[in-house]
Homo-oligomer: A and B are copies of this chain.
Amino acid sequence: MTVEEVRDPDERSRIAREILAGLPEWFGLEAANEAYVRDVATLPTWTVRGEGFLSLKRHGERAAEVYVMGVRRDRHRRGIGSALLDAAEEWAVANGITMLHVKTLGPSRPSRGYDSTRRFYEARGFVPLEETIAFWGEDNPALILAKPLRSGLTVLPLLGWPEVSEGDDLAELVAASAELEDDDVVVLAQKVVSKAEGRVARLDDLEPSERARELAGDEDPRRIEAILQESVRIVRSRPPLLIAETRQGFICASAGVDSSNAPEAGMIVLLPLDPDGSAAGVRERLLALTGRTVGVVVTDSFGRPWRAGTTDVALGVAGIRPLLDLAGRRDRAGYELRHTQIAVADEIAGAAELVMGKLDGVPGAVLRGLDLAGEGTAQELVISPERDLFR
Protein backbone atom coordinates (compact mmCIF):
# COMPACT_ATOMS: atom_id res chain seq x y z
CA MET A 1 0.00 0.00 0.00
CA THR A 2 1.40 3.40 -0.94
CA VAL A 3 0.60 6.56 0.99
CA GLU A 4 1.19 9.75 -0.98
CA GLU A 5 1.17 13.33 0.20
CA VAL A 6 -1.27 15.31 -1.98
CA ARG A 7 0.19 18.72 -2.79
CA ASP A 8 -2.33 20.13 -5.24
CA PRO A 9 -5.21 21.99 -3.50
CA ASP A 10 -7.81 21.03 -6.12
CA GLU A 11 -6.80 17.41 -5.96
CA ARG A 12 -7.12 17.43 -2.17
CA SER A 13 -10.72 18.64 -2.51
CA ARG A 14 -11.49 16.20 -5.32
CA ILE A 15 -10.23 13.23 -3.27
CA ALA A 16 -12.14 14.34 -0.17
CA ARG A 17 -15.38 14.75 -2.14
CA GLU A 18 -15.09 11.30 -3.69
CA ILE A 19 -14.28 9.46 -0.45
CA LEU A 20 -16.77 11.30 1.80
CA ALA A 21 -19.62 10.68 -0.67
CA GLY A 22 -19.21 6.95 -0.05
CA LEU A 23 -19.40 7.22 3.75
CA PRO A 24 -22.94 8.41 4.58
CA GLU A 25 -22.84 6.58 7.94
CA TRP A 26 -20.13 9.04 9.08
CA PHE A 27 -20.49 11.98 6.72
CA GLY A 28 -24.23 12.34 6.08
CA LEU A 29 -24.58 16.13 6.19
CA GLU A 30 -24.20 17.75 2.78
CA ALA A 31 -23.23 21.14 4.25
CA ALA A 32 -20.60 19.67 6.57
CA ASN A 33 -19.12 17.66 3.70
CA GLU A 34 -18.88 20.77 1.52
CA ALA A 35 -17.02 22.52 4.35
CA TYR A 36 -14.55 19.62 4.59
CA VAL A 37 -14.03 19.59 0.82
CA ARG A 38 -13.34 23.33 0.88
CA ASP A 39 -11.09 23.31 3.95
CA VAL A 40 -8.83 20.41 2.99
CA ALA A 41 -7.61 22.32 -0.06
CA THR A 42 -5.32 24.28 2.28
CA LEU A 43 -4.38 21.42 4.63
CA PRO A 44 -1.53 18.86 4.59
CA THR A 45 -3.26 15.81 3.12
CA TRP A 46 -2.27 12.19 2.48
CA THR A 47 -4.02 9.57 0.40
CA VAL A 48 -3.98 5.92 -0.50
CA ARG A 49 -5.23 6.40 -4.06
CA GLY A 50 -8.89 5.59 -4.45
CA GLU A 51 -9.16 4.18 -0.94
CA GLY A 52 -8.86 6.88 1.68
CA PHE A 53 -7.40 10.22 2.79
CA LEU A 54 -6.45 12.14 5.90
CA SER A 55 -5.98 15.90 6.41
CA LEU A 56 -4.15 17.51 9.32
CA LYS A 57 -4.85 20.98 10.65
CA ARG A 58 -1.98 22.59 12.43
CA HIS A 59 -2.75 24.63 15.57
CA GLY A 60 0.21 26.74 16.57
CA GLU A 61 3.73 25.41 16.94
CA ARG A 62 3.34 22.10 18.66
CA ALA A 63 -0.15 20.74 18.04
CA ALA A 64 -2.08 19.42 15.05
CA GLU A 65 -5.55 17.96 14.65
CA VAL A 66 -6.68 15.06 12.52
CA TYR A 67 -9.17 17.36 10.82
CA VAL A 68 -10.87 14.78 8.65
CA MET A 69 -10.15 11.20 7.67
CA GLY A 70 -12.09 8.78 5.52
CA VAL A 71 -11.51 5.29 4.19
CA ARG A 72 -13.83 3.59 1.67
CA ARG A 73 -16.41 1.45 3.50
CA ASP A 74 -15.44 -1.78 1.72
CA ARG A 75 -11.75 -1.19 2.44
CA HIS A 76 -11.98 -0.87 6.22
CA ARG A 77 -9.88 -3.10 8.49
CA ARG A 78 -7.03 -3.43 6.00
CA GLY A 79 -4.58 -1.04 7.62
CA ILE A 80 -5.32 1.91 5.32
CA GLY A 81 -6.27 4.21 8.20
CA SER A 82 -3.15 3.20 10.14
CA ALA A 83 -0.94 3.84 7.13
CA LEU A 84 -2.47 7.29 6.62
CA LEU A 85 -2.05 8.11 10.30
CA ASP A 86 1.56 6.87 10.27
CA ALA A 87 2.34 9.22 7.37
CA ALA A 88 0.64 12.12 9.12
CA GLU A 89 2.49 11.41 12.38
CA GLU A 90 5.82 11.23 10.58
CA TRP A 91 5.15 14.64 9.02
CA ALA A 92 4.01 15.99 12.39
CA VAL A 93 7.16 14.82 14.21
CA ALA A 94 9.35 16.27 11.45
CA ASN A 95 7.51 19.58 11.85
CA GLY A 96 7.98 19.88 15.60
CA ILE A 97 4.49 18.79 16.58
CA THR A 98 4.38 17.04 19.95
CA MET A 99 0.68 16.34 20.32
CA LEU A 100 -2.03 15.24 17.89
CA HIS A 101 -5.69 15.51 18.67
CA VAL A 102 -8.96 14.61 17.02
CA LYS A 103 -12.67 15.18 17.63
CA THR A 104 -15.19 12.48 16.91
CA LEU A 105 -18.70 11.54 18.01
CA GLY A 106 -18.74 10.69 21.72
CA PRO A 107 -19.83 7.38 23.25
CA SER A 108 -22.97 8.82 24.86
CA ARG A 109 -24.61 8.72 21.43
CA PRO A 110 -24.21 5.08 20.35
CA SER A 111 -23.38 4.52 16.70
CA ARG A 112 -21.76 1.42 15.29
CA GLY A 113 -19.66 3.41 12.85
CA TYR A 114 -18.34 5.89 15.41
CA ASP A 115 -17.80 3.19 18.03
CA SER A 116 -15.30 1.64 15.63
CA THR A 117 -13.80 5.06 14.86
CA ARG A 118 -13.10 5.61 18.56
CA ARG A 119 -11.62 2.11 18.87
CA PHE A 120 -9.37 2.91 15.91
CA TYR A 121 -7.96 6.01 17.58
CA GLU A 122 -7.61 4.44 21.02
CA ALA A 123 -5.73 1.43 19.59
CA ARG A 124 -3.28 3.88 18.07
CA GLY A 125 -2.48 5.64 21.34
CA PHE A 126 -5.08 8.42 21.44
CA VAL A 127 -6.47 9.06 24.92
CA PRO A 128 -10.10 10.29 25.27
CA LEU A 129 -9.87 13.63 27.09
CA GLU A 130 -13.44 14.81 27.42
CA GLU A 131 -16.89 14.52 25.88
CA THR A 132 -18.46 17.92 25.34
CA ILE A 133 -21.52 19.43 23.68
CA ALA A 134 -19.60 22.65 23.14
CA PHE A 135 -18.59 21.94 19.56
CA TRP A 136 -21.56 20.31 17.86
CA GLY A 137 -24.45 20.68 20.31
CA GLU A 138 -26.40 18.22 22.43
CA ASP A 139 -27.35 15.92 19.57
CA ASN A 140 -23.77 15.35 18.53
CA PRO A 141 -21.59 15.20 21.64
CA ALA A 142 -17.94 15.53 20.64
CA LEU A 143 -15.20 13.42 22.16
CA ILE A 144 -11.75 15.05 22.14
CA LEU A 145 -8.87 12.57 22.01
CA ALA A 146 -5.16 13.40 22.16
CA LYS A 147 -1.95 11.49 21.53
CA PRO A 148 1.57 12.53 22.49
CA LEU A 149 4.03 12.04 19.61
CA ARG A 150 7.45 10.61 20.35
CA SER A 151 10.58 11.23 18.42
CA GLY A 152 12.82 9.71 21.03
CA LEU A 153 13.04 6.85 23.44
CA THR A 154 10.67 5.99 26.28
CA VAL A 155 11.72 3.80 29.20
CA LEU A 156 8.86 2.45 31.31
CA PRO A 157 9.40 0.47 34.51
CA LEU A 158 7.71 -2.92 34.93
CA LEU A 159 5.57 -2.40 38.01
CA GLY A 160 3.48 -4.53 40.32
CA TRP A 161 5.48 -7.75 40.22
CA PRO A 162 5.29 -10.33 42.99
CA GLU A 163 8.47 -11.90 44.41
CA VAL A 164 9.74 -14.29 41.70
CA SER A 165 10.36 -17.97 42.49
CA GLU A 166 11.68 -20.99 40.63
CA GLY A 167 9.42 -22.01 37.77
CA ASP A 168 7.64 -18.65 37.42
CA ASP A 169 6.74 -17.65 33.87
CA LEU A 170 8.59 -14.36 33.37
CA ALA A 171 6.91 -13.66 30.03
CA GLU A 172 3.51 -13.93 31.67
CA LEU A 173 4.59 -11.46 34.36
CA VAL A 174 5.90 -9.07 31.68
CA ALA A 175 2.72 -9.34 29.63
CA ALA A 176 0.60 -8.63 32.71
CA SER A 177 2.53 -5.49 33.59
CA ALA A 178 3.09 -3.87 30.17
CA GLU A 179 1.12 -3.26 26.98
CA LEU A 180 3.84 -4.37 24.58
CA GLU A 181 4.22 -3.06 21.05
CA ASP A 182 6.25 -4.56 18.22
CA ASP A 183 9.95 -3.61 18.40
CA ASP A 184 9.83 -2.85 22.11
CA VAL A 185 12.89 -4.02 24.03
CA VAL A 186 12.06 -5.77 27.31
CA VAL A 187 14.82 -5.57 29.92
CA LEU A 188 14.88 -8.03 32.80
CA ALA A 189 17.25 -7.88 35.76
CA GLN A 190 19.42 -10.99 36.05
CA LYS A 191 18.12 -11.42 39.59
CA VAL A 192 14.56 -12.33 38.53
CA VAL A 193 15.81 -14.50 35.66
CA SER A 194 18.09 -16.43 38.02
CA LYS A 195 15.33 -16.88 40.58
CA ALA A 196 12.86 -18.12 37.94
CA GLU A 197 15.51 -20.57 36.73
CA GLY A 198 16.35 -21.76 40.23
CA ARG A 199 19.90 -20.40 40.06
CA VAL A 200 20.09 -19.81 43.80
CA ALA A 201 22.08 -21.61 46.47
CA ARG A 202 21.99 -22.03 50.22
CA LEU A 203 25.22 -21.06 51.99
CA ASP A 204 24.72 -23.99 54.36
CA ASP A 205 24.97 -26.37 51.41
CA LEU A 206 28.43 -25.13 50.40
CA GLU A 207 31.62 -26.75 51.73
CA PRO A 208 34.49 -24.23 51.45
CA SER A 209 37.65 -25.53 49.78
CA GLU A 210 41.15 -24.77 51.04
CA ARG A 211 41.48 -21.98 48.46
CA ALA A 212 38.16 -20.43 49.44
CA ARG A 213 39.31 -20.29 53.08
CA GLU A 214 42.59 -18.64 52.02
CA LEU A 215 40.87 -15.98 49.92
CA ALA A 216 38.06 -15.33 52.41
CA GLY A 217 39.90 -13.24 55.00
CA ASP A 218 37.11 -11.96 57.28
CA GLU A 219 34.43 -12.97 54.79
CA ASP A 220 32.18 -16.02 54.82
CA PRO A 221 34.28 -18.73 53.10
CA ARG A 222 31.11 -20.43 51.83
CA ARG A 223 30.32 -17.36 49.71
CA ILE A 224 33.90 -17.37 48.37
CA GLU A 225 33.46 -21.06 47.54
CA ALA A 226 30.38 -20.22 45.46
CA ILE A 227 32.38 -17.53 43.63
CA LEU A 228 35.17 -20.00 42.88
CA GLN A 229 32.67 -22.53 41.57
CA GLU A 230 31.20 -19.90 39.22
CA SER A 231 34.64 -18.75 37.99
CA VAL A 232 37.16 -19.97 35.48
CA ARG A 233 39.77 -17.48 36.71
CA ILE A 234 40.32 -14.89 39.44
CA VAL A 235 41.38 -11.67 37.70
CA ARG A 236 42.14 -9.52 40.78
CA SER A 237 41.65 -9.94 44.48
CA ARG A 238 41.77 -7.48 47.36
CA PRO A 239 39.61 -8.91 50.12
CA PRO A 240 36.72 -8.62 50.38
CA LEU A 241 36.73 -7.83 46.65
CA LEU A 242 37.24 -10.63 44.13
CA ILE A 243 37.12 -9.85 40.41
CA ALA A 244 36.55 -13.07 38.48
CA GLU A 245 36.03 -14.32 34.96
CA THR A 246 32.80 -16.32 35.01
CA ARG A 247 32.12 -19.49 33.09
CA GLN A 248 29.93 -17.35 30.76
CA GLY A 249 33.01 -15.24 29.97
CA PHE A 250 32.07 -12.11 31.91
CA ILE A 251 34.62 -10.38 34.11
CA CYS A 252 32.91 -8.93 37.17
CA ALA A 253 32.96 -8.68 40.95
CA SER A 254 32.26 -11.94 42.83
CA ALA A 255 31.56 -13.77 39.53
CA GLY A 256 28.08 -12.32 39.77
CA VAL A 257 27.34 -14.12 43.05
CA ASP A 258 25.12 -11.84 45.10
CA SER A 259 23.51 -11.95 48.52
CA SER A 260 21.28 -8.90 48.05
CA ASN A 261 17.69 -9.44 46.94
CA ALA A 262 18.10 -13.19 47.53
CA PRO A 263 14.93 -15.20 48.25
CA GLU A 264 15.83 -15.27 51.97
CA ALA A 265 18.71 -14.71 54.37
CA GLY A 266 21.42 -17.37 54.05
CA MET A 267 20.85 -17.71 50.32
CA ILE A 268 22.76 -16.35 47.34
CA VAL A 269 21.81 -15.76 43.72
CA LEU A 270 24.04 -16.97 40.85
CA LEU A 271 24.12 -15.76 37.23
CA PRO A 272 21.93 -17.66 34.74
CA LEU A 273 23.95 -20.46 33.11
CA ASP A 274 23.05 -19.25 29.59
CA PRO A 275 21.67 -15.71 29.72
CA ASP A 276 21.32 -15.52 25.90
CA GLY A 277 19.19 -18.64 26.11
CA SER A 278 17.16 -17.10 28.94
CA ALA A 279 16.51 -14.00 26.82
CA ALA A 280 15.54 -16.08 23.78
CA GLY A 281 13.14 -18.14 25.86
CA VAL A 282 11.34 -15.10 27.25
CA ARG A 283 11.21 -13.55 23.78
CA GLU A 284 9.62 -16.63 22.21
CA ARG A 285 7.09 -16.98 25.00
CA LEU A 286 6.17 -13.27 24.75
CA LEU A 287 5.48 -13.73 21.04
CA ALA A 288 3.20 -16.66 21.86
CA LEU A 289 1.39 -14.81 24.66
CA THR A 290 1.02 -11.35 23.13
CA GLY A 291 1.66 -11.68 19.39
CA ARG A 292 4.33 -8.99 19.73
CA THR A 293 7.84 -9.30 18.32
CA VAL A 294 10.17 -7.73 20.86
CA GLY A 295 13.80 -7.75 21.89
CA VAL A 296 14.81 -9.05 25.31
CA VAL A 297 17.90 -8.09 27.32
CA VAL A 298 18.97 -9.71 30.61
CA THR A 299 21.06 -7.29 32.68
CA ASP A 300 23.25 -7.04 35.76
CA SER A 301 25.17 -4.27 37.53
CA PHE A 302 28.93 -4.46 36.90
CA GLY A 303 31.76 -2.30 38.17
CA ARG A 304 34.41 -1.16 35.72
CA PRO A 305 38.13 -0.42 35.97
CA TRP A 306 39.01 3.24 36.51
CA ARG A 307 35.46 4.50 36.94
CA ALA A 308 33.52 4.59 40.20
CA GLY A 309 30.12 2.97 40.64
CA THR A 310 28.35 0.29 38.69
CA THR A 311 26.46 0.50 35.43
CA ASP A 312 24.05 -2.14 34.20
CA VAL A 313 25.27 -4.21 31.24
CA ALA A 314 23.77 -6.91 29.06
CA LEU A 315 24.43 -10.55 30.01
CA GLY A 316 21.98 -11.99 27.51
CA VAL A 317 20.13 -10.64 24.48
CA ALA A 318 17.60 -11.91 21.96
CA GLY A 319 16.03 -10.22 18.97
CA ILE A 320 18.36 -7.21 18.87
CA ARG A 321 21.82 -6.47 17.58
CA PRO A 322 23.93 -5.91 20.70
CA LEU A 323 26.62 -3.98 18.81
CA LEU A 324 25.83 -1.23 16.35
CA ASP A 325 28.60 -1.32 13.78
CA LEU A 326 29.41 1.99 12.13
CA ALA A 327 32.18 0.55 9.93
CA GLY A 328 32.01 2.16 6.52
CA ARG A 329 29.77 5.01 7.67
CA ARG A 330 31.24 8.45 7.18
CA ASP A 331 30.97 11.70 9.07
CA ARG A 332 30.09 15.06 7.47
CA ALA A 333 33.73 15.61 6.44
CA GLY A 334 33.92 12.15 4.84
CA TYR A 335 36.09 10.67 7.60
CA GLU A 336 35.29 6.98 7.97
CA LEU A 337 34.38 5.89 11.50
CA ARG A 338 36.14 2.62 10.92
CA HIS A 339 36.82 1.51 14.46
CA THR A 340 33.50 2.46 15.95
CA GLN A 341 31.15 -0.15 17.33
CA ILE A 342 28.59 0.97 19.88
CA ALA A 343 27.61 -1.47 22.63
CA VAL A 344 23.94 -0.54 22.40
CA ALA A 345 22.85 -3.55 24.49
CA ASP A 346 24.89 -2.20 27.41
CA GLU A 347 23.44 1.28 26.90
CA ILE A 348 19.95 -0.26 26.88
CA ALA A 349 20.78 -1.99 30.16
CA GLY A 350 21.93 1.29 31.70
CA ALA A 351 18.89 3.21 30.47
CA ALA A 352 16.61 0.58 32.01
CA GLU A 353 18.49 0.75 35.31
CA LEU A 354 17.69 4.46 35.54
CA VAL A 355 14.00 3.57 36.05
CA MET A 356 14.48 0.27 37.87
CA GLY A 357 16.19 1.39 41.05
CA LYS A 358 17.56 -1.21 43.38
CA LEU A 359 15.17 -1.68 46.26
CA ASP A 360 11.71 -0.97 45.02
CA GLY A 361 11.14 -4.38 43.53
CA VAL A 362 11.18 -3.16 39.93
CA PRO A 363 12.48 -6.18 37.98
CA GLY A 364 12.80 -4.63 34.55
CA ALA A 365 11.69 -2.06 32.02
CA VAL A 366 10.35 -1.66 28.52
CA LEU A 367 12.22 0.55 26.03
CA ARG A 368 10.15 1.94 23.17
CA GLY A 369 11.42 3.91 20.19
CA LEU A 370 14.63 2.03 19.40
CA ASP A 371 15.25 0.54 15.97
CA LEU A 372 17.62 -2.31 16.77
CA ALA A 373 15.66 -5.44 15.81
CA GLY A 374 18.00 -8.14 14.57
CA GLU A 375 19.99 -11.16 15.59
CA GLY A 376 22.79 -11.45 18.09
CA THR A 377 24.00 -12.65 21.46
CA ALA A 378 25.57 -10.96 24.45
CA GLN A 379 28.62 -13.19 23.89
CA GLU A 380 29.50 -10.73 21.10
CA LEU A 381 30.06 -8.19 23.86
CA VAL A 382 32.84 -10.27 25.43
CA ILE A 383 36.25 -9.36 23.96
CA SER A 384 38.15 -12.52 23.06
CA PRO A 385 41.28 -13.00 25.23
CA GLU A 386 43.67 -12.63 22.27
CA ARG A 387 42.20 -9.21 21.34
CA ASP A 388 41.95 -7.98 24.92
CA LEU A 389 44.61 -5.51 26.10
CA PHE A 390 43.54 -5.90 29.72
CA ARG A 391 43.49 -9.63 30.56
Using CB atoms and an 8 Å cutoff, list the residues of chain A in contact with chain B.
59-60, 62-63, 65, 98-99, 101, 127-132, 134-135, 144, 146, 148, 150-157, 159, 163, 179, 236, 238, 241, 243, 250-251, 259-265, 301, 304-313, 322-324, 326, 329-335, 337, 340-344, 346-348, 350-351, 353-355, 358-359, 361, 365, 369-370, 380-383, 388-391
* Alpha-carbon distance between A5 and B197 when the two chains are bound, in angstroms: 43
Interchain CB contact (< 8 A) of A153 among B155, B238, B326? B155
Given contacts A127-B99, A130-B65, contact A309 B381 (CB under 8 A): yes
Chain B residues with CB below 8 A from A128, complex form? 59-60, 62-63
Apart from A98-B127, A350-B351, what 9 extra A-B contacts exist at CB < 8 Å? A62-B127, A65-B129, A134-B134, A263-B333, A264-B333, A305-B388, A308-B383, A309-B341, A310-B342
Chain B residues with CB below 8 A from A304, complex form? 304-305
Q: Are A335 and B259 in contact (CB-based, < 8 A)?
A: yes
Q: Are B383 and A306 in contact (CB-based, < 8 A)?
A: yes
Chain B residues with CB below 8 A from A369, complex form? 155, 355
Q: Are A358 and B329 in contact (CB-based, < 8 A)?
A: yes
Closest Cβ–Cβ distance, residue A115 to chain B (whole Å): 15
Q: Are B309 and A323 in contact (CB-based, < 8 A)?
A: yes
Interchain CB contact (< 8 A) of A381 among B308, B324, B331, B340? B308
Q: Are B306 and A390 in contact (CB-based, < 8 A)?
A: yes
Q: Are B389 and A243 in contact (CB-based, < 8 A)?
A: yes
Given contacts A135-B134, A351-B350, contact A310 B340 (CB under 8 A): yes
Among the interface residues A62, A63, A342, which one has the most CB atoms of the partner chain B within 10 A?
A342
* Alpha-carbon distance between A155 and B150 when the two chains are bound, in angstroms: 9
Q: Are A155 and B155 in contact (CB-based, < 8 A)?
A: yes
Chain B residues with CB below 8 A from A259, complex form? 335
Interchain CB contact (< 8 A) of A309 among B151, B332, B342? B342
Q: Are A155 and B351 in contact (CB-based, < 8 A)?
A: yes
Q: Are B152 and A154 in contact (CB-based, < 8 A)?
A: yes
**Closest chain B residue to A59, Cβ basis:** B130
Given contacts A134-B135, A152-B365, A335-B261, contact A358 B383 (CB under 8 A): no
Chain B residues with CB below 8 A from A383, complex form? 305-308
Chain B residues with CB below 8 A from A347, complex form? 311-312, 350-351, 353-354
Chain B residues with CB below 8 A from A134, complex form? 132, 134-135
Chain B residues with CB below 8 A from A144, complex form? 101, 129, 144
Q: Are B348 and A330 in contact (CB-based, < 8 A)?
A: no
Given contacts A148-B148, A307-B382, contact A358 B332 (CB under 8 A): no
Query: What are 19 A-B contacts defined by CB distance under 8 Å?
Result: A59-B128, A59-B130, A59-B131, A99-B129, A99-B148, A127-B148, A129-B146, A151-B159, A152-B157, A153-B351, A153-B354, A155-B351, A260-B335, A264-B333, A306-B382, A307-B382, A310-B342, A326-B358, A342-B353
Given contacts A99-B127, A261-B331, contact A343 B59 (CB under 8 A): no
**Closest chain B residue to A388, Cβ basis:** B306
Interchain CB contact (< 8 A) of A127 among B63, B65, B159, B179? B63
